[in-house]
Amino acid sequence: MERATRKTQPSARRRNPVETRSRLLGAAFREMHRSGFRGTDLDTILSQAGVTKGAMYHHFGGKQAIGYAVVDEVIGDMTRERWVEPLARAEDPIAALKAIFSGASADFADFDRGCPLQNLSLEMSALDEGFRTRTAQLFRVWRGAIVEALRRGQAQGQVAEGLDLEEEAEFLIAAYEGYIQLAKNARDSAPLKAAERRLVRHIESLRP
């Protein structure tokens, strides 16, 4: 009851809820990418984002809620930017697809951290249904983008008919993720280079 009324310094920064929220998500993503969800502590996110606990608690219900938002928004945006939109916009979807895979080792400059979606999916799928469904949804989006690219490739005569496009897309993702995992584990970008060669070559093998 005798709780003293503590005085607060006026906090020079202006209010900006949108930025506060996005700073939190950014910091959370970085820490989760580095240490996994459970290895990330809230105080680190907070100090990295320059946000206090109270502010965070206003925007998110807790650590889990932040984690979910990181999947839905941050990793989701990355997936859309890197896969969905380029493939949807491209006039030549097959060329675009090959280009993305070709940039694998360049995009994974910090290959020792691995793929955020993969890390989170594997860490949390067995432990938290919310994480599992959210990451699974992103894998579906990813696969859908590739399927659509292959379908348009068929329409343009670049891809053979009669293929099971869903299966082809799943294969590309599986192999790609597998290589990323090996690179992370080996602390070596060589598997990424192999992924580029292999997967581009594979796409070419889909020609009629």
Helix (H, G, I), strand (E, B) or coil at 83: helix
Element (H, E) at 86: helix 85-89
CA–CA separation, 135 vs 140, rounded Å?
9
Does residue 208 belong to the site contacting DNA (CB under 7 A)?
Answer: no
Q: Given candidates 17, 41, 186, 207, which one binds a second copy under the rule CB under 8 A?
A: 186
**Which CB atom, from 80 or from 132, has the smaller least distance to DNA?**
132
Hey, what are 157's tokens? 């005569």
Q: Of 87, 193, 104, which is closest to residue 144 (Cα–Cα)?
A: 87
Does residue 175 belong to the site contacting a second copy (CB under 8 A)?
Answer: yes
Neighbours of 148 (CB within 10 A): 16
Residue linked to tokens 């020792």: 112
Q: Given candidates 51, 71, 159, 199, which one binds DNA under the rule CB under 7 A?
A: 51
Site for DNA in 64-123 (CB under 7 A): 64
Hey, what are 75's tokens? 């990793």
Binding footprint of DNA on the chain (CB under 7 A): 3, 5-17, 20-21, 40-43, 51-55, 57-59, 62-64
Binding footprint of a second copy on the chain (CB under 8 A): 1, 34-36, 38-39, 64, 112-114, 118-119, 121-128, 132, 135-136, 139, 167, 170-171, 173-179, 181-182, 184-187, 191, 194-195, 198
